[in-house]
Amino acid sequence: MRIVIAGGHGQIALRLSRLLDARGGYEVAGLIRNPAQGDDLRAAGAEPVLCDLESASVEEVAAHLQGADAAVFAAGAGPGSDAGRKDTVDRAAAVLFAEAAERAGVRRHIVVSSMGADPAHQGDEIFDAYLRAKGEADAYVRGCEGLDWTILKPGRLTDGPGTGLVRLEASTGRGDIAREDVATVLAELVDSSATAGLTLELIGGTTPVAVAVKDVAGN
């Protein structure tokens, strides 16, 4: 399978690349805007692809997605960015990536969103703008008839070691989740479209990842 990850140098994306590379049978490409990040992607088993989602056209992004079996949007403006970049990356780039995936005929589409993402979220802080941007992007993806989408909303991200045990449901309530466990869930999701059409929240829990994904998909 060929997997294309937007935001290929992000912490979750690099973990996902390492997991898929270790499993074998995957060809992973990560979209990055900074060529200096290429070696990090190669070390994780991914092919670096230069593409700035804040300036690229839909045609350019679609060309990078040609022949892919799944697309994962894991890009983000990141901490310290202003409200403007929350809009251009967390909303606009996610919309562009989804539109490009439809144009390229890549049906399987996974979005790493955020718990609390909501286009109607109120507030004037930077984080409020972030939650609105993510919510607007999620709403756009849900309307894409050409995509078998799954939207994953992790709780508060931590850098500790993954446990492989999670709670994955339509609504989980607040909680923490290790980035490693988010990546493990994504690795399960890219392989199957059984969760297509679902928006899922994810926190640490007591259920092994593979079982949690099968349970929520009704398998």
Q: Which residues are catalytic?
A: 130
Nearest-angstrom CA–CA distance, 151 and 128: 19
Give 161's DSSP letter. Answer: P
Q: φ, ψ for residue 144 (rounded to 5)? A: -85, 100
Nearest-angstrom CA–CA distance, 191 and 199: 17
Is residue 98 a contact partner of residue 141, using CB atoms and an 8 Å limit? yes
Token pair of 113 as six digits: 């969103």
- Beta bridge partner(s), residue 103: none
The number of angstroms, rounded, from the C-alpha of 33 to the middle of its chain's C-alpha atoms is 17
Nearest-angstrom CA–CA distance, 126 and 219: 40
